[in-house]
């Protein structure tokens, strides 16, 4: 069982992150996944989070209670949700937008400049796919093959290739991060 929270502000593709991952898991990785989201009435800029429960069997309780993985793409999201991340959990954060407190070893921290990478690929809109690449590489909760299969239908066809590139960029970067700082796995994730 995994509990994952994606968080940031509206417009960063936070909901889409969980949607792609949930679809990948439940349709191509043979897992059960339940995705919930919380958002305000604003379309852009408001606080936004999406949650994913992943299990080998049917999920009854649909909510994330103590996530083992947190993706934080904004300072607000980090401040709100980092304290709710499980001890020993994985924190992947936007290196240029989030200034975390000093690493006290409570959680495993992986910074990734996902927006900058996306801009290098031509548009900051691809930041969420870069993020998903990092997430897949670091946590291994979902396979990269399933993630790519999940994209059609959730990403406009004309942007599929560039989004796959963004995913690969994040995936490679995530593997690099792991080399420097291997993941300590346990029941936390």
Residues that bind other proteins (CB under 8 A): 18-19, 22-23, 26-27, 32-41, 59-63, 150
CB of 74 to other proteins, least distance (A): 19
Q: Which is nearer to other proteins, 59 or 95 (CB)?
A: 59
Cα separation of the two ends of the chain: 8
Q: Which is nearer to other proteins, 71 or 98 (CB)?
A: 71
Q: What SS3 class is residue 80? A: helix
Distances (CA, A) of 57 to 61, 65, 70, 116, 189: 12, 18, 22, 38, 17
Q: Which is nearer to other proteins, 76 or 119 (CB)?
A: 76
E-strand stretches of the chain: 2-9, 32-39, 47-55, 69-72, 90-94, 108-112
CB of 61 to other proteins, least distance (A): 4
Q: Which is nearer to other proteins, 59 or 121 (CB)?
A: 59
CB of 177 to other proteins, least distance (A): 28
């Amino acid at each position: 069982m995994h509990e994952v929270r994606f968080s940031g502000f509206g417009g960063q593709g936070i909901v889409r992150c969980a949607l792609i991952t949930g679809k990948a898991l439940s349709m191509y990785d043979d897992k059960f996944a339940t995705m919930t989201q919380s958002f305000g009435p604003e379309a852009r800029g408001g606080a936004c989070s999406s949650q994913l429960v992943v299990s080998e069997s049917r999920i009854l309780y649909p909510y994330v209670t103590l996530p083992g993985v947190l993706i934080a793409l904004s300072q607000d999201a980090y401040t709100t949700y980092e304290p709710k991340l499980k001890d020993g959990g994985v924190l992947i954060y936007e290196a240029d937008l989030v200034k975390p407190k000093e690493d006290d070893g409570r959680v495993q921290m992986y910074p990734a400049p996902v927006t900058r990478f996306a801009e290098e690929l031509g548009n900051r809109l691809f930041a969420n796919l870069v993020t998903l690449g990092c997430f897949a590489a670091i946590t291994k909760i979902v396979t990269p093959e399933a993630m790519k299969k999940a994209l059609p239908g959730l990403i406009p066809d004309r942007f599929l290739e560039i989004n796959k590139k963004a995913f690969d960029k994040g995936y490679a970067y995530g593997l690099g991060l792991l080399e420097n700082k291997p993941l300590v796995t346990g029941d936390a994730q």
